[in-house]
């Protein structure tokens, strides 16, 4: 399945592979790689609220800021919230970036091998084989609670909107 008219890269239309997700959908599984080439899946974060920050490449200015911003925010989040960054960068490049940038609270992963995450979440850009800048919040029951696909890939996500949505998910968790 392919979708058009959702994102642009520097003004040029991109085609997204995979079905788009919406709030209320069951989060699809995926397999990505950590810096040691170990497979990591959605199941590895069972029982956690997951904030998934998706970046095209950590070696670009906007992606760098996005990773650092979520790393900063993650420092004050409850223990049952995990922040993941997923990109198409090679695992070795991700490790180098995180070490150099002091990214310690965000867990960064690579989808480069088979695009499992990008296709499952509908953010794999066909023309570039990069992931469209986006943010997902998945609750403890693996239900999608927030979706933001940034219309122009070179722009930032709405950090404040993400944090407000995350606050609502964590408050609902406490009330349950």
The class level of CATH for 2-175 reads alpha beta
Render pLDDT for 72-131 as a digit per residue (tens, 0 to 9): 999 999 999 999 999 999 999 999 999 999 999 999 999 999 999 999 999 999 999 999
What does the alpha-carbon distance between residue 91 and residue 112 come to, in Å, rounded to a whole number? 8
Burial class (CB in 10 A: 0-12, 13-18, 19+), 30: buried
Render pLDDT for 64-88 as a digit per residue (tens, 0 to 9): 999 999 999 999 999 999 999 999 9
98 included as an active-site residue: no
Q: pTM here?
A: 0.96
The full set of domain ranges for the chain reads: 2-175
What is the layout of strands, in order, in the sheet containing 106-110?
39-41, 31-33, 106-110, 81-87, 49-54, 134-138, 144-149
Backbone angles phi, psi at 50, to 5 degrees: -115, 125
Active-site residue identified among 6, 63, 88, 153: 63
């Amino acid at each position: 399945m392919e979708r058009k008219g959702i994102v642009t890269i520097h003004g040029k239309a991109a085609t997204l592979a995979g079905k788009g997700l919406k709030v209320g959908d069951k989060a699809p599984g995926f397999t990505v790689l950590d810096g040691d080439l170990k497979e990591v899946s959605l199941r590895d974060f069972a029982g956690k609220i997951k904030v998934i920050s998706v970046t095209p490449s950590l070696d670009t200015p906007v992606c760098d800021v996005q990773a650092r911003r979520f790393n900063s925010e993650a420092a004050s989040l409850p223990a049952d919230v995990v922040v993941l960054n997923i990109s198409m960068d090679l695992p070795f490049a991700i490790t180098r970036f995180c070490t150099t940038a002091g990214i310690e609270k965000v867990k960064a992963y690579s989808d480069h091998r088979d695009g499992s995450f990008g296709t499952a979440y509908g953010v794999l850009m066909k023309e570039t084989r990069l992931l469209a800048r986006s943010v997902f919040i998945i609750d403890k029951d693996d239900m999608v609670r927030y979706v933001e696909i940034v219309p122009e890939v070179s722009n930032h996500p709405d950090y404040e909107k993400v944090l407000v949505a995350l606050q609502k998910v964590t408050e609902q968790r406490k009330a349950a």
